[in-house]
Amino acid sequence: MWKYGLISVLVCVTACQLGVRDDCDRVVGETASLYARVETGDSGRVEEWVQARGGEMRVRNGEVEVDVMVSVPRGSCKEAADELLGELANVGGGEVMAARLGTPGGPPGYDTPEQLQASFQELADDYPAIASLIDLTEAYGLPATVDGNHLYALKVSDNVAEDESDELNVLVVANHHARELVTPQIALDVASELTSRYGNSSVVRDVVNMYQVYVMYTMNPDGLNYVWSTDNMWRKNRRLVSSEGSAEVYGVDLNRNYEFGWNYTCAGSTRMGSQTYRGPYPFSEAETQVMKAFQTDRRFAKVLDLHSYAREVRRNYGSCAGLPVQIAGLFEAHSKAFATLIGYQSARSCCTGGDISYAYHNNGGLSTLVETATSFQPPADEMEAEVIRVRPGNLYYLSIPVPVTGVIRSSGAPVSATVRIVNLDWTNHEEWPNRADGRYHLWVPPGTWQVDVTPDDTNTYKSKTVTIEVSDPKETLVVDVDLNE
C-alpha cells in the first residue's frame, strides 16, 4: 500500500474539464468510468475504498491514479455522483478537486476512427509508389476482434510493393489503450511525414529508402470505437471476460497480454475488473494474436510504441526483469537522446507483459515506449502542439542506425537460425531468430562481441561463433554469416 503525504489522487475516467454533474446528461447506459482528482493525506484509505469497488490505484509522476466503474442510475445520476464524491472526499480526509464521468467521444478537433482509417487509406492512394495499407488480420488469416474489426498497418518504403531482403523492418504502433486518443494523431503524423516529405527531406528519404516502416494508428479498434460511442475513458479491449451473476466484466489490457514477463511481479493484474487485467493467458486476445504474427513475420529491428500520458521515453525492461549492463546502458543512451530532443524525461518501463518487452526479448529490436502529452485527451490545440513537439524525436528514432545486420546463409541460400550474444549476464534467455530471408540484426554498443549462430536444422548445418567488432555507432556494420565456411 502506497504511503504519501498530501498528494493528488486520480480516480480515472475522462479527460474533460467540466464537472461530473454536467456529464450525467451525456452518459450512455447506467455505468460509467469515473475520473476525479482528490487532495488527500491518506492514500491508503482511498486505495481501500477504490479496491472495495473493484477499482485500482497506480502511481503516475508522484500522483496516485485510480480507475473505477460506478453506477449512474437514470433520473438520479447527479445525486448519486454527489454522494459518491462526498464519500471519496471523506475517506481521503481531503477535497475532490475535479471529477468527470466517461461520456461518448473525444474532444473537438480529433479524428474519429472512421476519419483515421480514411486518412491512412488516402496516404496509400496519394503515394502509391511508397505507401500501401495492409489488412493485417486478413494477411495472417486470423480472426477479427469480438466486434468484427481488423487491424491495419500502413507500409512506407521506397519499393513498397516488394519485400526487400536488404532492408530492416520498423514498427510504429499507437493506441494499445483506447482512451489515449493523442497517440493515433501522432501515428498519423508519422505516416504523413514519411509520405508527404519523401521528396523534399533528405532525412525522411533516407529512412524510407533504408527501412520498411509500418505504422498502426490503433492496436485496439474495438476499444477506440467504444471511446467514441460510449465512454471516453475506456482503456481495455471489449471482450466479455466474465458474466457471473448480474455483473458483466469487459476487457483485457492488451499491453499486458504479451508472452514475455506475462506472469512476472511487475506484469498485469490477475483480477478481471482491473484496468491492467492481463487476460487468462498470453496472446489470449485477437488483437495481440495479430501482433504476434506480425512481429514473428517481420522481426522488427525497431519498435516505437506510443502511449499517453507522462512525457517520458521509456526503455526495456520493467523493474522486475533485468538486462546485461552493457545492453541496458545502450538502451538508456538512446532513451535519453530521444527524451532530450523533445523535452521529455527518460525512464525505465513500468512493466513486463507488454509490447516493447516482447519485441526485444523475442525479436531483438530496439523497443521504446513513449508516454506522450500530459493527459489522455488534451484539447485539440494542445494535442496539435504535442504532435509537433514529438515529431523530431520520432524521426530521430526512425533514423538511429542499427549497429549490426547481415544474412545467415549457406551456399547462397538463406538459413533459418537464432543468434545470441555470448559472455553477457543474460537472465531471461534472450536469443533471436532471423527473418525468413536470412536477415538478422543486433543491438550492441561499440566493442568486440562473440555471437553464437545456431541453425534450426542442426542435422544439415553446423553452429558457428563469429566475432564482431563494432567501432562506429553512427554506422551500420554488415556481417554476413556463411554456415558452409
pLDDT for the residue numbered 61: 61
Q: What cell was used for 316? A: 526495456
Residue 6 has pLDDT above 50, yes or no: no
**CA distance linking residue 334 with residue 422, whole number of Å:** 23
- Report strand pairing: 31-40 vs 95-101: antiparallel
Alpha carbon of residue 55 to chain centroid: 23
Query: Count of alpha carbons within 13 Å of 111, Cβ hemisphere only?
Result: 19
Can you give the pLDDT at residue 62?
Answer: 60
Q: SS3 of 161, please? A: coil
Q: Which residues contact 453 (CB under 8 A, 6 or more apart)?
A: 408, 417, 418, 419, 463, 464, 465, 466, 481, 483
Task: Give the cell for residue 136.
Answer: 493485417
pLDDT in tens, 432-454: 999 999 999 999 999 999 999 99
Q: Are strands 345-348 and 312-315 parallel, antiparallel or unpaired?
A: parallel
Mean pLDDT across 151-163: 98
Higher per-residue confidence, 484 vs 293: 293
pLDDT at 105: 93
| C-beta separation of 90 from 158 below 8 A | no
Reported confidence tier of residue 79, pLDDT bands at 50, 70, 90: confident
Residue 294: pLDDT band (50, 70, 90) is very high
pLDDT average, residue stretch 40-55: 79
Output the pLDDT for position 18: 39
233 vs 93: which has the higher pLDDT: 233
Please report the pLDDT score of residue 183 as a whole number: 98
**Residue 238, pLDDT score:** 97
Give the Cα separation of 372 and 390 in Å (integer).
8
Predicted pLDDT of residue 47 = 83
Neighbours of 144 (CB within 10 A): 16
Residue 185 pLDDT greater than 80, yes or no:
yes
Mean pLDDT of 361-376: 97
Q: What is the predicted pLDDT for the residue at 288? A: 98
Confidence tier at 8 by pLDDT (50, 70, 90):
very low
Terminal alpha carbon distance of the chain? 59
| Rounded average pLDDT over 27-47 | 78
Q: What percent of the chain has pLDDT over 90?
A: 76
Tell me what pLDDT residue 431 has: 97
Average pLDDT over residues 375-389: 96
Kindly report, residue by residue over 303-343, the tens digit of the pLDDT: 999 999 999 999 999 999 999 999 999 999 999 999 999 99
Mean pLDDT, rounded, of the chain: 91
Cβ distance 318 to 261 under 8 Å? Answer: yes
Highest mean pLDDT among 77-86, 100-109, 146-155: 146-155
How many residues in the chain?
A: 485
pLDDT value for 27: 86
Q: Return the percentage of the chain with pLDDT > 70, whole number.
A: 93
The DSSP secondary structure of 18-78, one letter per residue, reads: S-HHHHTTT--SSEEEEEEEEEES-HHHHHHHHHHTT-EEEEETTEEEEEEEEE--TT-HH
Query: Is 319 strand, coil or helix?
Result: coil
Q: Please state, in angstroms and rounded to a whole number, the distance separating the CA atoms of residues 258 and 224.
A: 20
Res 3 pLDDT > 70: no
Tell me if 307 sits within 8 A of 284, measured CB to CB. Answer: no
From the list 303, 286, 444, the residue with the least C-alpha distance to 362 is 303
pLDDT bin (cut points 50, 70, 90) of residue 49 is confident
CB 66 within 8 A of CB 57: yes
Question: What gap in Å lies between CA 318 and CA 224, rounded to an integer?
Answer: 26
Confidence at residue 63, expressed as pLDDT on a 0 to 100 scale:
67
Confidence of residue 245 (pLDDT cuts 50, 70, 90): low
Give the helix ranges, DSSP H, for 299-364: 325-342, 355-363
The answer, yes or no, to whether residue 301 has pLDDT greater than 60, is yes
The letter for the amino acid at 126 is D
Question: In this predicted model, what pLDDT tens digit does every residue of 408-435 receive, in sequence order?
Answer: 999 999 999 999 999 899 999 999 999 9
CA–CA–CA angle 116, 121, 124 (5° rounding) = 135
User: What average pLDDT score do residues 191-216 get?
Assistant: 98
